[in-house]
Amino acid sequence: MSRLIVVSNRVNPPAESGEESVGGLAMALAAALREYSGIWFGWSGRTTPEFTGRLAIERVGGVTTATVDLEAADLDEYYNGYANKTLWPLFHYRTDLAAFDRAYGEGYGRVNRRFAETLAPLIEPDDIIWVHDYHLIPMARELRRLGVKNRIGFFLHIPWPAHQVIINLPRHSGLVEAMFDYDLVGFQTAEHRQAFEEYVLNEAGGAQTAPGDLSAFGRTLRVGAFPIGIDAAEFARLAASPRAGRMRDLMRACTVFRRLIVGVDRLDYSKGLEERFLGFERFLAENPDLRRQVLLLQIAPPSRESVEAYQDIRARLDALSGRINGEFSDLDWSPFRYVNKAYRRDELAGLYGAARIGMVTPLRDGMNLVAKEFVAAQDPEDPGVLILSRFAGAAGQLRDALLVNPNSAEEVADALKRAIFMEKDERIRRWRSMFESVSREDVTAWRDAFVRALAAMRSERSAVAV
Ligand code: GDG
């Protein structure tokens, strides 16, 4: 069997107990690589005064990792800059927040080159290379320049935006051209894949040569939708753990006679927290008789704190949560608990299990794994209700959630009310169909579908027989 080399910006497999890592990509990749002979290559999380390309090879949590340190300027221009101030906002339709700076683009190219130069000597002829996410779009181009002829696939964890949005990016054509150095490009949903195809056909003058095959820039590329899943079996194990049980008991004790509503999100403007809070405020204002029956617990561990837009959203959320509690609290009761801290995964599983309602209302999201974790953690006899944004990739699979437009406080407030009154029969029926999809389309199915599709390809550049 070929070896699998996974490449992502940050390499941070969760420790053996798997509890503390935050971020969908890390959880998914660690789960995907366990049981696979291969390497996970990327940034170590450390900086060095001067880039040396020295590799640190370790075995962490059942996974072999090969990591490299980066310079502070690399992080500033490539990670905080081009990746998180340019591509992230733009790909999440926040053109207002996207910063365009030549130095960011240069840093992005430089780090992709450095990564490729460091990785290339590790690659054996039969290896399959799987590159992840928007930080590393030009990685295949750099590897090809170094003569790497292996099959290389790319998976985009975030949305591919509509044609009219992506063309706001200076030199967008160069970025898309670089994607044609891959053999296979995977998106979370058919909608993202179609948006990419539309760009290729209408902007790049490309053609569709067969279903899923595109040609442009003198090359051909296969594209597909590969919705990512969670490690459902491991999540069920976490949900059954003593620590999850203690968390469920604790939360139930804090919400006697009340329904617990839970949200868990990285503190990011794409997650729709502000809009969620406003929807909850509206619910409280419109339903005085239900006020005392609910508690919204929002967990939001800070992320990307050196980026200004993240400092701004944090300040706005602080103000808004204070206002809502100030307006609606009583001496013995407050409607809202907002916590900027990360919890262990087994504790999160317990929290989801204690909740009557899970609120997952991003403004845009590639997939959203919290939605799937919430479903996986429910009691089959008495499951909670998932309120899910129609703009999360997960909405394509979790059709039995209460789907809402997260920008509409009215729709969010109505969904909350409906969820509170939903009869057990309906809750069970909806949950069963979602649980079936979360269990079947799990992270292993995602990995296998992508790796099989890539392995089955005979790269036009590859001299190696499949
Ligand atoms: C990107 C895409 C796509 C959250 N708080 C804590 C914690 N988390 C964990 C959750 C979940 C993960 O972080 C978040 O995953 P998401 O999918 O919601 O979001 P992103 O980080 O934005 O991930 C996304 C994903 O990649 C995978 O392709 O779904 O669309 O944006 O697993 O549980 N974990 C712990 N403590 C916390 O407080 N331990």
Which pLDDT value is given to residue 436?
97
Q: How many CB atoms lie within 10 A of CB 301?
A: 15
Confidence band, pLDDT 50/70/90 cuts, at residue 18: very low
**How far is the centre of ligand 1, averaged over its atoms, from the C-alpha of 370 (Å)?**
6
Task: Give the gyration radius of the chain's Cα atoms.
Answer: 22
Which pLDDT value is given to residue 215?
98
Q: 70-95, pLDDT tens digit by residue?
A: 999 999 999 999 999 999 999 999 99
- Read out DSSP for 285-348? HH-TTTGGGEEEEEE--B--TTSHHHHHHHHHHHHHHHHHHHHH-BTTB-SEEEE-S---HHHH
Q: Is the CB of 158 under 6 A from ligand 1?
A: yes
**How far is the centre of ligand 1, averaged over its atoms, from the C-alpha of 179 (Å)?**
25
Q: Which atom of ligand 1 is nearest to the CA of 344?
A: 39
Q: Is the CB of 373 under 6 A from ligand 1?
A: yes
Cβ proximity of 108 and 171 under 8 Å: no
Instruction: Say if residue 185 is exposed, middle or buried (CB neighbours under 10 Å; 0-12, 13-18, 19+).
Output: buried
Cβ proximity of 230 and 373 under 8 Å: yes
Which pLDDT value is given to residue 29?
76
Residue 358: strand, helix, or coil: strand
Residue nearest to atom 38 of ligand 1 (CA): 342
Which pLDDT value is given to residue 177?
98
Q: Is the pLDDT of residue 382 over 80?
A: yes
**How far is the centre of ligand 1, averaged over its atoms, from the C-alpha of 66 (Å)?**
23
Residue in 133, 192, 261, 227 with CA at minimum distance from that of residue 438: 227
Which pLDDT value is given to residue 132?
96
Distance from C-alpha of 40 to C-alpha of 57, rounded to nearest angstrom: 10
Active site annotation includes 101: no
Which of the following is catalytic: 133, 181, 265, 365?
365
- The H or E element containing residue 186 is strand 184-187
* CA angle (405 as vertex; 328, 185 as ends), nearest 5: 130
The predicted model gives 311-333 an average pLDDT of 94
Residue in 381, 413, 422, 110 with CA at minimum distance from that of residue 401: 422
Mean pLDDT (the chain) is 93
Backbone angles phi, psi at 294, to 5 degrees: -130, 155
Q: Is the pLDDT of residue 45 over 50?
A: yes
User: Tokens 């262990």, residue?
Assistant: 344
Cβ proximity of 174 and 199 under 8 Å: no
Residue in 113, 141, 13 with CA at minimum distance from that of residue 53: 113
Residue 224: strand, helix, or coil: strand
Distance from C-alpha of 123 to C-alpha of 294, rounded to nearest angstrom: 55
Distance from C-alpha of 442 to C-alpha of 236, rounded to nearest angstrom: 12
Q: Is the pLDDT of residue 26 over 60?
A: yes
Cβ proximity of 275 and 412 under 8 Å: yes
Q: Mutate which of 21, 91, 234, 266 to test ligand 1's pocket (most atoms within 8 Å of Cβ)?
A: 266
Confidence band, pLDDT 50/70/90 cuts, at residue 464: very low
Residue in 50, 61, 107, 64 with CA at minimum distance from that of residue 84: 107
Share of the chain above pLDDT 70, in %: 94
Which pLDDT value is given to residue 24?
60
User: Tokens 């909608």, residue?
Assistant: 191
pTM, rounded to two decimals: 0.96
- Quick one: DSSP state of residue 2? -
Q: Which atom of ligand 1 is nearest to the CA of 341?
A: 38
Residue nearest to atom 19 of ligand 1 (CA): 24
**How far is the centre of ligand 1, averaged over its atoms, from the C-alpha of 392 (Å)?**
13
Q: Is the CB of 305 under 6 A from ligand 1?
A: no
Q: Is the CB of 369 under 6 A from ligand 1?
A: yes
Which pLDDT value is given to residue 161?
98
Distance from C-alpha of 132 to C-alpha of 139, rounded to nearest angstrom: 10
Active site annotation includes 365: yes
Which of the following is catalytic: 157, 231, 268, 346?
157
Q: Which domains can be identified in the chain, with CATH numbers?
A: 4-229+444-455 (3.40.50.2000), 232-440 (3.40.50.2000)
Which pLDDT value is given to residue 78?
97
Q: Mutate which of 243, 360, 368 to test ligand 1's pocket (most atoms within 8 Å of Cβ)?
A: 368
Distance from C-alpha of 303 to C-alpha of 319, rounded to nearest angstrom: 18
Q: Report H helices in 203-259.
A: 232-239, 242-254
**How far is the centre of ligand 1, averaged over its atoms, from the C-alpha of 213 (Å)?**
31
Q: Is the pLDDT of residue 127 over 80?
A: yes
The predicted model gives 39-66 an average pLDDT of 91
Residue in 299, 313, 279 with CA at minimum distance from that of residue 88: 313
Residue nearest to atom 13 of ligand 1 (CA): 23
**How far is the centre of ligand 1, averaged over its atoms, from the C-alpha of 27 (Å)?**
8
Q: 177-220, pLDDT tens digit by residue?
A: 999 999 999 999 999 999 999 999 999 999 999 999 999 999 99
Q: Is the CB of 266 under 6 A from ligand 1?
A: yes
Backbone angles phi, psi at 151, to 5 degrees: -70, 130
Beta bridge partners of 4: 38, 128
**How far is the centre of ligand 1, averaged over its atoms, from the C-alpha of 26 (Å)?**
8
